[in-house]
Amino acid sequence: MREVMSEVVSEMKKEFHVVGKSVPRRDGIGHVTGKTVYVDDISFPGMLHLKMVRSPIHHGIIRNVDFSEAEKVPGFVRVLTHRDVPKNIYTILCLIGVGPDEEPVLAVDRVLYKGEPIAAIVAETEEAAMEAVSRVRLDLEELPAVFDVEEALKPGAPILKPWGTNYFVYEGHYCRRVRFGDVEKAFAQADYIIEEVYNTSPIEHAPTETTACVAKPEPDGRYTVYTNTQALFFTMDNTALILQVPFSKLHFVGGTVGGGFGGKVDVIVEPIATLAAMKTGRPVKFKYTREEEMRVSSTRSAWRMYFKDGVMKDGRIIARKVISYADSGAYNRHTPYAVTKHAANVAGPYTIPNVYIDAYCVYTNRQPASAMRGFGVTPASFAVECQMDKIAETIGMDPWEIRFINAYRNGDMRPHQKVVEDATLIEVMKAAAELAGHQLPEHLLKMHSWDREKV
């Protein structure tokens, strides 16, 4: 295998200019000299700074917001509330048909998480904006909060969404469902039933450069927005929809990101900074502090996954039932999509004839979760591979063998009704064993992804 690969690689070196070769990074000189321009390195004469008034509580009713003391701070320019935002309620994934809109750019009469933006203050300096924010008087009525996905689905839990439930509705259903074969019948036939629950925690991306943008009015009536978003056109389109302006009114400049990892794909600073630029006629910078990045920016979602597998003595997994809960936090962001990916992947790269999956996207009073490196799939992989080890241990089989036996092959049907065309699991496991110095037995080395041996 390795010999074949090295032959392929040496052939590539002959044929290609880039593949199989080290290429100097185009942005490398800028990075090592400090000449790369990140968003926070951009400033313009007359530039204003924006800071958010944020909810100090996890869940509550907004009774009153008093800006009178804030307005007295030297350098204060203006305040923006939900009334100033043309289309205040949005959902990022509306661009791929996800709905309904449910997150306010600025809170209207209720806050659903600690740190939720209530109003934006624009001032001549960052210090003045922060000082003015600290002088805003919030009159809030605190409501009971819920922080656990299963608690949030119990009767009597505080209801967070206008449609009356704490879960995202998938085409009229309470969760993303996969139904394949008959798991109950298979459980009755199985030699072993192996159950386990897996939990993962939220993770903050913590990029060294915090989320930021500068929105600048141009003489031709357009707005240039310098941003460190990871999703430039997605963000531009959402900004245009929120501000109800034609896409052509906005010119987004990006591509230089000081660490993202999925933490900079939400549309967070651009709409409000652009609105502030429109309302003041001046360039506006909105840069998260480190505290905002840690406490307010979205995280990887937390998951709880209940597994029940039916396994035969020979190692074949004949049934898998998974009930999963993703903690979306207070709003959608990218979690409805994460849950769909999760449902398609939580059976693992294994062929199991009977599969039943219920994957819930649940709302709680935590800061919103969103994208992060393989979101939805990563917790599934963690749980699936722990479960494979547990199965191996329970039935007394080598953990390599259990994976080879169940590995999917080309031509197999996946539980979500896709035929496998590009399986490589067996080849990857062989290569991994070789790298780890693990000698696989002959009968496993004979296996391939492109056919199925007689069991």
284 contacts another protein (rule: CB under 8 A) = no
User: Which residue from 175, 195, 179 is spatially nearest to 187, judged by alpha carbons?
Assistant: 195
Q: Interface with another protein by CB under 8 A: which range of 23-31, 191-199, 348-356, 379-387?
A: 23-31
255 contacts another protein (rule: CB under 8 A) = no
Q: Which of 55, 88, 210, 274 binds another protein (CB under 8 A)?
A: 210
Shortest Å distance, C-beta 287 to another protein: 9
**CB contact at 8 A, 42 and 226:** yes
Kindly tell me which of 8 and 32 has the beta carbon lying closer to another protein: 32
Shortest Å distance, C-beta 160 to another protein: 32
Side-chain-side CA neighbours of 350 within 13 Å: the count stands at 28
Buried b (16+ CB within 10 A) or exposed e, 17-38: eeeeeeeeeeeeeeeeeeeeee
Q: Exposed (0-12), middle (13-18) or buried (19+): which is 328, by Cβ within 10 Å? A: buried
> Which amino acid appears at position 416 of this protein?
H
User: Which residue from 282, 258, 284, 259 is spatially nearest to 269, judged by alpha carbons?
Assistant: 284
**Looking up tokens 């999760």, which residue turns up?**
342
- From residue 207, alpha-carbon distances to 1, 183, 224, 370 in Å are 39, 43, 24, 15
- Map residues 344-373 to x or -, x wherever contact with another protein holds by CB under 8 A: ------------------------------
Q: Which of 2, 4, 18, 24 binds another protein (CB under 8 A)?
A: 24
- CA dihedral (216, 218, 222, 225) in degrees, to 10, reads -20
Shortest Å distance, C-beta 26 to another protein: 11
Q: Which of 189, 201, 289, 394 binds another protein (CB under 8 A)?
A: 289
257 contacts another protein (rule: CB under 8 A) = yes
Kindly tell me which of 28 and 86 has the beta carbon lying closer to another protein: 28
Q: Which of 19, 30, 109, 438 binds another protein (CB under 8 A)?
A: 30
Kindly tell me which of 49 and 403 has the beta carbon lying closer to another protein: 49
Q: Which of 1, 7, 8, 25 binds another protein (CB under 8 A)?
A: 25
Q: Using the Cα atoms of residue 264, residue 43, residue 116 and residue 97 in order, give the sign of their dihedral.
A: negative
Q: Which of 6, 8, 31, 201 binds another protein (CB under 8 A)?
A: 31
**CB contact at 8 A, 284 and 50:** yes
According to DSSP, the residues that pair with 193 across neighbouring strands are 310
Kindly tell me which of 238 and 378 has the beta carbon lying closer to another protein: 378
254 contacts another protein (rule: CB under 8 A) = no
Helices and strands, counts by H and E, the chain: 13, 19
Cα separation, 105 vs 272, in Å, equals 7
Q: Which of 8, 32, 61, 197 binds another protein (CB under 8 A)?
A: 32
User: Which residue from 136, 164, 145, 133 is spatially nearest to 60, judged by alpha carbons?
Assistant: 145
**Looking up tokens 């979760």, which residue turns up?**
369
Total residues at the site for another protein (CB under 8 A)? 31
374 contacts another protein (rule: CB under 8 A) = no
41 contacts another protein (rule: CB under 8 A) = yes
Q: Which of 33, 244, 417, 439 binds another protein (CB under 8 A)?
A: 33
Contacting another protein within 297-316 (CB under 8 A): none
Kindly tell me which of 173 and 290 has the beta carbon lying closer to another protein: 290
75 contacts another protein (rule: CB under 8 A) = no
Q: Interface with another protein by CB under 8 A: which range of 199-207, 274-282, 328-336, 434-442?
A: 199-207
Q: Which of 115, 207, 329, 348 binds another protein (CB under 8 A)?
A: 207
- From residue 12, alpha-carbon distances to 6, 17, 213 in Å are 10, 9, 42
Q: Which of 258, 353, 374, 411 binds another protein (CB under 8 A)?
A: 258
Strands 299-300 and 369-370, by their bridges, are: parallel
Q: Which of 43, 189, 201, 394 binds another protein (CB under 8 A)?
A: 43
Looking at 233-343, which runs of residues are DSSP E strands? 250-253, 284-287, 299-300, 302-311, 317-327
Q: Which of 3, 34, 97, 421 binds another protein (CB under 8 A)?
A: 34
**CB contact at 8 A, 72 and 157:** no
Q: Interface with another protein by CB under 8 A: which range of 173-181, 257-265, 367-375, 401-409?
A: 257-265
The contact set with another protein (CB under 8 A) reads: 22, 24-25, 27-38, 40-41, 43, 205-210, 257-261, 289-290
